[in-house]
Structure 1
Amino acid sequence: MSHHYSGPDYGFPHGDARLDLTDLYAFPKPGGAGKSIVVMNVHPSAGVNPSGPTTREPFSTQAVYELKVDTNGDAVADLAYRVSFSSTNDGSQVATVRRAQGEAAAGDGPGGQTILASARVSTGREALVSEAAGYRFFAGWRSDPFFFDTEGALNNFQFTGRDFFAGKDVCSIVLELPAEALGPTPVGLWQRTLDGRGGTWVQADRGARPSQSVFLTGEQKSDYLAAQPAGDARFAAIFAHSLEHTGGYSPQEAKRVAESLLPDILFYDSRQPASYPHNGRTLTDDVMDGFIALLTNGRVTRDGVEPHRDLLPEFPYLGPPHELA
């Protein structure tokens, strides 16, 4: 399954679907030399056994949605792009995007230099796009680009080619930025949400690679979602045990594969074409075929599902939402 199910017990962290991360994408802007596109998706409109309610309000006004950037390979953020949301008098939402550097980037909260403010959030089919200082920004409901036969996976990998996510929606944060604004390439990227409802900032969810959390249950999953990539080595043994069980790997091979999945960071070089898992991730990369092949040790290699056809050739690239049609 995807990071669509990253929350506790495949539900939503802290009982709020708006804090539930799904997928992270990073790729060079098509036809746009020197620009990169980063897509952070949250708030899925559907899930397996969800434990919290969804809401048509796209984003929490008491949260921070954050892109972390590691520029020197130590799995600690050197840059951070932070998006926070507020409500207007008419009940709509607007976003503020800030950029933090150095030690501040590794911290919590919404701080940083403001690069874009009062960006309107899209709650309809029209994509409301804001621009400032070389950046373009979109936030709002979109067609979920993720594709996978989830029901087949739950039925012992008996795939039928039915895309569970066809017709589903997700909330997207899309940022177009100068490639140099991500720092020296290549870089490591991950996303996280911070929940501020209790008066302090608590990491509700985090991730970069698809499907990492399926190796974990209960307290292990909670610990993983609250952790930082720099400490991910401590989860290698848990991943390896799961791989021995699901894929029939030897202990040595399971350890090797587990260590290849950690830390949970998406590596990206803006100078090269994007293709998961080698460099970034495009909206059409079939990440789940690769994942089920890894999970089953090559016993199963395809789910028969193809990329969605409603993607756009231009910013924000994701198709309009279905439920608002």
Structure 2
Amino acid sequence: MKKTKIFAAIGGLGLAVLSVFLIAADHIDAPAVAGTNSDITDFYAFRAQDQNNLAFVVNVQGLLAPGQSTEQAEFSENVLLEINIDNNNDLIEDRVIQAIKRNDSMYFFLKPQVSTPGLTSTIDTETFVGSVKISTTTDVQVSSSNANGMKFFAGPREDPFFFDFTRYNEIIAGTAPGFNDPGNDTFVGTNVLSVAIEVPKSMIGSGTVGANPLAPSTSIYGVWVESKRKQ
């Protein structure tokens, strides 16, 4: 059984998944990794078109200019992306989806349980669930699926997050009273490197019913994403 040591969680975002679309965003907020291939810009989690599935999207390395800048941007073979899933509301991951680049493809692993949660991770090759060739431009559509109904994508995409970063800085500085409606999208026309995964709920547990007072009959999952660098 081959394992590869991965050390040092260097970035992360968190949220809880309900029956609605939820996101978390972090663009260029972490000085140590800002603009690098381990900088998480956004994390999206939502019910897929197939209501029995959940979809997760991790975007890294934001503010890529269209054209050559995007085409030359690469995922790092030394950076592991992990989507942590808590299905019983105890704030401890019960499933972990791992994604890491090897050569021209992104490889995915689904760990059924985590015995030692923390900042250090390993890749167990026996938990491999699929791979997909990495797209090189935003025009290329390359996806893959496995026999269990999981679907995968990796490659550049236009940044979908809307935020008026200039106005935000003015508000923080005390020179503006609030946001304009709708404001100016700082990220319009820029790209990110995106990893998308669709997974059947049956593979990650049923979630917790009754934990959310606003949707007591809806199963929820606690999910968060981390980037970890091999050392």
TM norm structure 2: 0.71
Residues 144 and 54 of structure 1, relative CA distance in 2, 3 Å threshold: closer
- Partners in 1 of 2:78 and 2:115 — Cα distance? 20
Q: Counterpart amino acid of 2:46?
A: F
The answer to whether the aligner puts 1:180 opposite 2:202 as a matched pair is: yes
Aligned mate of 1:164, from 186, 206, 210: 186
Aligned to 1:194: 228
- Partners in 1 of 2:152 and 2:141 — Cα distance? 10
- Partners in 2 of 1:175 and 1:103 — Cα distance? 20
Q: Please, which runs of 5 or more residues in structure 2 have no aligned partner?
A: 1-23, 208-219
Identical aligned pairs, as a percentage?
A: 26
User: Over aligned residues, Cα RMSD in angstroms?
Assistant: 2.5
The answer to whether the aligner puts 1:76 opposite 2:110 as a matched pair is: no
Aligned to 2:133: 120
Q: Structure 2 matches for 1:138-157, cutoff 5 A?
A: 138-156=153-171, 157=176
TM norm structure 1: 0.51
Q: Secondary structure at the match of 2:100?
A: strand
- Partners in 1 of 2:94 and 2:190 — Cα distance? 34
The answer to whether the aligner puts 1:95 opposite 2:117 as a matched pair is: no
Moved >4 Å (runs of 4+): none
Q: Secondary structure at the match of 1:17?
A: coil
The alpha-carbon deviation at position 180 of structure 1 amounts to 2.1
Q: Counterpart amino acid of 1:110?
A: I
Aligned to 1:25: 44
Aligned to 2:75: 59
The answer to whether the aligner puts 1:3 opposite 2:17 as a matched pair is: no
The alpha-carbon deviation at position 128 of structure 1 amounts to 0.6
The alpha-carbon deviation at position 41 of structure 1 amounts to 1.0
- Asked whether the equivalents of residues 75 and 188 of structure 1 are also in contact (C-alpha less than 8 Å), the reply is yes
The alpha-carbon deviation at position 78 of structure 1 amounts to 1.1
Aligned to 1:212: none
Q: Counterpart amino acid of 1:94?
A: S
Q: Which has the higher helix share?
A: 1
Deviations 1:58-79 (A, max 9, x none): 2111111110011222222111
Q: Which has the higher strand share?
A: 2
Aligned residues: 181
Q: Structure 2 matches for 1:287-298, cutoff 5 A?
A: none
Aligned to 2:121: 108
- Asked whether the equivalents of residues 24 and 191 of structure 1 are also in contact (C-alpha less than 8 Å), the reply is yes
- Partners in 2 of 1:127 and 1:146 — Cα distance? 20
Residues 159 and 46 of structure 1, relative CA distance in 2, 3 Å threshold: farther
Residues 2 and 103 of structure 1, relative CA distance in 2, 3 Å threshold: closer
The alpha-carbon deviation at position 165 of structure 1 amounts to 0.9
Q: Secondary structure at the match of 1:126?
A: coil
The alpha-carbon deviation at position 174 of structure 1 amounts to 0.5
Q: Please, which runs of 5 or more residues in structure 1 have no aligned partner?
A: 48-52, 88-92, 199-325
Aligned mate of 2:59, from 26, 41, 45: 41
Q: Structure 2 matches for 1:267-282, cutoff 5 A?
A: none
